[in-house]
Amino acid sequence: MVKCLENEGVKLVFGYPGAAICPFYDSLYRSAVKHVLVREEQNAAHAASGYARMAGVPGVCVTTSGPGATNLITGIATAYMDSIPLIAVTGQVNQWLLGRDVFQEADITGACASFTKHSYLVKDAEDLPRVFKEAFHIASTGRPGPVLIDVPTDVQKQAVASFSYPQKVQIAGYKPRTQGHAMQIRRAAKAVAAAKRPLLCCGGGVVLAGAREELLAFSGKTGIPVVTTMMGLGMVPMDCPGYLGMIGMYGQENANRAMRDADLIILCGARVGDRAVSDPQQISETTKIIHIDIDPAEIGKNMDVDIPIVGDIRLVLHTLAEETDGSAPKPWVEKVKAEKAAYVPKGAPREGSGFVEPRSFLRALFGRMEPDAVLCADVGQSQIWAANNFRVKEGRFLTSGGLGTMGYALPAAIGAKLAAPNRQVVCVCGDGAFQMSSCELATLRQMGADVKIVLMRNDRLGMVREVQSRSYGGRYAATDLTGGPDFGKLAGAYGIPSEEAAGNADAERAAGRMLGQSGPFLLVCRVDPDEPTL
């Protein structure tokens, strides 16, 4: 198994050992493949996800059987919803004990069936090279996703006659199409030329396809304005003139208005989930839709489509740019640009209130960050504050957009930093989410990873509380997080320096000091519990 990882060029795995995976760990101990010991298994998957997103190769996480494997499930599901390539390796009880409910046995391939792109229960070590080769291929091609490999202990111990790693994969039922259909692309080009109010809408698929250059080239040539979903954030430089902002329930009004007003929307790698477009059918009734996606099942799933193009967005956009003449009509472009210019970002410092106003502070923080910095945003109010004010020119925005998994940001940031050691990595989270994975401060410390954590502390589950305020008569059921620790002391206990701020000027000065030093750091911002998300 370790040889398979070496053959795949894996340099780093994230995991947590246990009895059923000991044979693998024993081989890993003698290998050049490095191991990052997380403090809870779910975070192994999140860290591997952060790693995969920055390294552009599948992230690998390893746990033992039973609870080790079941703890991993949320992490696997998180990666599945965001189409992140992941290889999850789990130990399993000895084959002859399978199905007998012995100690630390769990049917993990069964439990993960709906969250994995594919899974294997390996019953003969001779199959391991083929299984690993297939798993890496499946995880990283087509629409990426997590692949689970469950290996009983006796299979891990089984001697293999001679090891040879296959060069090619042959899977009868798996041949993802990458080249878009030429006729559909021509139809799309005609529709673009005929459109009066065309708009590009980019989702996470553009990030996964590495299609940033092609997107900018296409948008640059045609002058078609661009909106992104949260998962597509960072694909268009924030200062790009045609960029209108993020759409969605918590997006910018001007971007959502452009979606409503457009007569042609080119969806690129976006599944138009309910948080991005609340009523896709209403839009598709009046608007022509071109949908480009590598996954045929996405097309027509949530929105009726006029021109479907199944393929790699990078290749399709390149061809589409070549086939398209003319540029987007001026009145439309000027209108959406004017609406964008009129958009005033929300939130302003309220000095003397005893609180940091998060939106204006985050704008200031992002302005100070390096132009290619990586931002890991957790889930909840802090995520929306970060997304709506993200201003890092060539930056990356990593978040759990699909599943909305609290606690994602810190382990993902550790993984991202290890994949891209030369890029600045900042993690923004609320105190609810942070407490779900704060045990990873130990991993951070152990790895000496230079990750800056900005913690928005309001002692509340802010976003749920806001819903309770709006829709449940202000009955704040179980959203009071009072009892949280002194986070500075907590960080200090791990040997991680920290500061706490109770006003924007304070927070900005502290952020300056934080970004100016190397090594992990925690900045705690006191935030008003009544601070709105938007």
Partner 1 sequence: MKNTLSVLVENQPGVLSKVAGLFSRRGFNIDSLAVGITENQKISRMTIVVDGDARVVEQVEKQLNKMIPVIKVKVLEPGTFLSSEHSLVKVACKIKQHAEIMNIAELMHASIVDVAPTSLTLEFTGDEDRTQTLLGLLKPYGIKEVVRAGALAMEKGSETTLKQSAKA
Binding site for partner 1 (CB under 8 A): 109-110, 113-114, 117-118, 121, 138, 171-174, 295-297, 300-301
Q: Smallest distance from the beta carbon of 281 to partner 1, in angstroms?
A: 11
Which candidate, 402, 461, 472, 464, places its Cα nearest to that of 434? 461
Q: Smallest distance from the beta carbon of 143 to partner 1, in angstroms?
A: 8
Q: Could you please report the per-residue DSSP string of 355-392?
A: S--HHHHHHHHHHHS-TT-EEEE-SSHHHHHHHHH---
Classify residue 478 by burial, with Cβ atoms within 10 Å: 0-12, 13-18, 19+.
exposed
Q: Smallest distance from the beta carbon of 110 to partner 1, in angstroms?
A: 7
Q: Smallest distance from the beta carbon of 111 to partner 1, in angstroms?
A: 11
Alpha-helical segments (H) within 141-211: 153-157, 182-194, 204-209
Q: Smallest distance from the beta carbon of 124 to partner 1, in angstroms?
A: 13
Cα distance between residue 129 and residue 3, in whole Å? 9
Residue number with CB closer to partner 1 (168 or 330): 168
Residue number with CB closer to partner 1 (118 or 275): 118
Looking at residue 180, the DSSP 8-state letter turns out to be P
Q: Are 152 and 95 in contact (CB under 8 A)?
A: yes
Residue number with CB closer to partner 1 (275 or 301): 301
What is the SS3 assignment for 444-464? HHHHCCCEEEEEEECCECHHH
Q: Are 374 and 426 in contact (CB under 8 A)?
A: yes
Residue number with CB closer to partner 1 (284 or 319): 284
Residue number with CB closer to partner 1 (117 or 133): 117
Residue number with CB closer to partner 1 (113 or 183): 113
Residue number with CB closer to partner 1 (110 or 448): 110
Q: Smallest distance from the beta carbon of 92 to partner 1, in angstroms?
A: 14
Q: Smallest distance from the beta carbon of 82 to partner 1, in angstroms?
A: 17
Q: Smallest distance from the beta carbon of 228 to partner 1, in angstroms?
A: 25
List, in order, residues 6 or more apart from 213 with CB less than 8 Å away.
none
Residue number with CB closer to partner 1 (23 or 204): 204
Q: Are 67 and 23 in contact (CB under 8 A)?
A: no
The first and second tokens of residue 77, run together, are: 């599901």
Which candidate, 401, 386, 433, places its Cα nearest to that of 77? 401
Which candidate, 147, 14, 47, 33, places its Cα nearest to that of 88? 147
Q: Are 37 and 64 in contact (CB under 8 A)?
A: no
